[in-house]
Every structure is written in structure tokens, then in C-alpha cells.
Structure 1
Amino acid sequence: MSTQRYTPEFKAEAVRQVVERGYSVAEIAARLGVSTHSLYKWVSAVTPDKSEKQASELLEAKSEILRLRAQMRRLEEERDILK
């Protein structure tokens, strides 16, 4: 097991190449001379957990549903007044 330490800047650039530029983990790991395991750990440390992301999306969807229901009630009341 290697005890080599990498700077935060080095890790950030490696992760950026995978996440933003779309290179594969294996390709970047080989190019930079790091293990794929390390690079996967770095990527997972900066990307949100899927369940966390899903919870956030669910919360956004629920709040939008509530907003749309309130808007629908208001519009139905306006429609009923105009009848």
C-alpha cells in the first residue's frame, strides 16, 4: 500500500477531469499514476450521494406540487367568480 500523499489541488484536478470533462476513471488514473481506487474515492467524496440528491429532488417536487395546487385553487375560485 502506497503512503504517497497528493495535494488537494492535484486531487481536485483529477476529479475535475472525470466529472466535468468526462474522462474515465481508469484513463485519468493511468495518466496521473494513481490507483483507480483512490480516484474513485476522491470522486465520491466530492459528488453528492445519490440518495441525498434524490431526497433533494423529491423535496423540490413536493414543494412545486404544493405551489401548483395553491395556484389551481386560486384559479378555480377566480373561474367560479366569473361564471
Structure 2
Amino acid sequence: MSNKRYPEEFKIEAVKQVTDRGYSIADVANRLDVTTHSLYAWVKKYGPDSAEYKAKSDEQLEIRRLKKELKRVTEERDILKKAVYFANQSD
């Protein structure tokens, strides 16, 4: 039995095939040439009920919020730059 190491992205994608796409664990394990035991462990670690999944979801929400805020602040800055330009032109 070999102790293969798989990248985290590979594990997450395997879990998505089970949780999001509805494939059976045995089917996914067979196709990806991993043990069902490993896949069950990955589902437990990376699945929708895991703390790590919830933490990543929270991080994604924070990233979206920050991107919206950055867009708003950038627009405000651009408006102020134009206002300064026009104020200097009228002098």
C-alpha cells in the first residue's frame, strides 16, 4: 500500500464531486484511484459541515465585502480627483 500525498485542491475537488455533484464515494474513489477511507476523511475535513469549509466561506464573504468597499472608495477617490482638477481649472 502506498502513502500517496495529494494536494489540497485535489482533495477539495474530490469532495465537491461527492457533495455538490451527487456521485457516490465509491464511484469517485474508484475514478480518482484513492481509497474510500481517504475520501471519507476528506469529506469530513473539507465537506460542507466541516469547520474549515465554514471558515473558508466566511473568508469568501469577507473578500466580497472588501472588494465592494474597495470599488466604492476607488470611485469616490476618482470623483474627488476630478473635482480638484475642475476646481484648479476655474482659478
Q: TM-score range by the shorter chain?
A: 0.5 to 0.7
State the AA in 2 paired with 1:29.
A
Give the equivalent residue in structure 2 for 1:24: 24
Q: Superposed, which structure 2 residues align to 1:1-83 within 5 Å?
A: 1-47=1-47, 48=49
Q: Distance in 2 between matches of 1:41 and 1:13?
A: 14
Query: 5+ unaligned residues in a row in structure 2: which ranges?
Result: 51-91
Q: Tell me by how many angstroms 1:46 deviates.
A: 2.1
Q: Distance in 1 between matches of 2:46 and 2:13?
A: 12
- What's the RMSD between the two structures over aligned residues? 1.2
Please, what TM-score do these two structures have when normalized by structure 2?
0.50
Q: Distance in 2 between matches of 1:33 and 1:5?
A: 12
Identity of aligned residues (%): 57
State the AA in 1 paired with 2:10.
F
Q: Tell me by how many angstroms 1:2 deviates.
A: 2.2
How many residues align? The count is: 49
Q: Distance in 2 between matches of 1:2 and 1:28?
A: 19
Query: 5+ unaligned residues in a row in structure 1: which ranges?
Result: 50-83
Give the equivalent residue in structure 2 for 1:63: none
